[in-house]
Structure 1
Amino acid sequence: MFSSNQTPSRQQKDTVRNVEATGVFCWQLATYALREAVNITAEQVPYGVDEFDRAGLEKEYSTVLATPVPMVKASPIKFECEYYTTLRLPGNPPMGSADVVVGKVVGIHIDEGVLTDDGKIDVSKTQPIARCGYYDYAVVRETFQMIVPGGTKDTLYGMEGSVRKHKAAREAGRRMGVSAEDEQGPP
Structure 2
Amino acid sequence: MLYLPGKTPHNLPFDPFKACVVPRPIGWISTTSSDSSDPKHNLAPFSQFNNLTFDPPYVMFAANQTPTSTRKDTVINVEATGKFVWNLATYDLREAVNITAQQVPHGVDEFALASLAKEFSAHLPGDGTNPVPMVKDSPVKFECVHHSTLRLPGASELGTVDVVIGRVVAVHISDWALTGGRLDVRKTKPIARCGYYEYAVVEETFKMVIPGADGVTLAGLEGSMDKVKVAKVKAKL
- Report the TM-score range of the alignment, normalised by the length of the smaller protein: 0.7 to 0.9
Match of 1:107 among 164, 170, 190: 170
Partner residue, 1:80:
143
Identical pairs, percent? 59
In 1, the alpha carbon distance for the partners of 2:171 and 2:111 equals: 21
Partner residue, 1:95:
158
Shift of 1:46: 1.3
Residues 171 and 156 (structure 1 numbering): CA distance in 2 closer, same or farther, change over 3 Å? closer
In 1, the alpha carbon distance for the partners of 2:186 and 2:137 equals: 16
Partner residue, 1:183:
none
* Residues 139-158 of structure 1: pairs in structure 2 closer than 5 A: 139-158=201-220
In 1, the alpha carbon distance for the partners of 2:168 and 2:136 equals: 18
The one-character-per-residue Cα deviations of 1:102-150 (angstroms, maximum 9, x if unpaired) are 1110000000101112x11101111111111211111111111121223
Instruction: Name the TM-score, length of structure 1 as normaliser.
Output: 0.84
**Which structure 2 segments of 5+ residues have no match?**
1-59
**Which structure 1 segments of 5+ residues have no match?**
180-187
Residues 92 and 135 (structure 1 numbering): CA distance in 2 closer, same or farther, change over 3 Å? farther
Residues 61 and 108 (structure 1 numbering): CA distance in 2 closer, same or farther, change over 3 Å? same
What letter is aligned with 1:104?
Answer: R
In 2, the alpha carbon distance for the partners of 1:74 and 1:101 equals: 25
Partner residue, 2:64:
5
Query: Are 1:159 and 2:221 an aligned pair?
Result: yes
Residues 124 and 172 (structure 1 numbering): CA distance in 2 closer, same or farther, change over 3 Å? closer
Partner residue, 2:179:
116
In 2, the alpha carbon distance for the partners of 1:114 and 1:106 equals: 20
Query: Are 1:37 and 2:99 an aligned pair?
Result: no
In 2, the alpha carbon distance for the partners of 1:169 and 1:85 equals: 28
Query: Are 1:18 and 2:77 an aligned pair?
Result: yes
Q: As a proportion of its length, which structure holds more strand?
A: 2
Q: As a proportion of its length, which structure holds more helix?
A: 1
How many residue pairs are counted as aligned between the two chains? 174
Q: Check whether the contact 1:82–1:106 (CA below 8 A) recurs between aligned residues.
A: yes
What CA RMSD, in Å, does the superposition of the two structures yield over aligned residues?
2.0
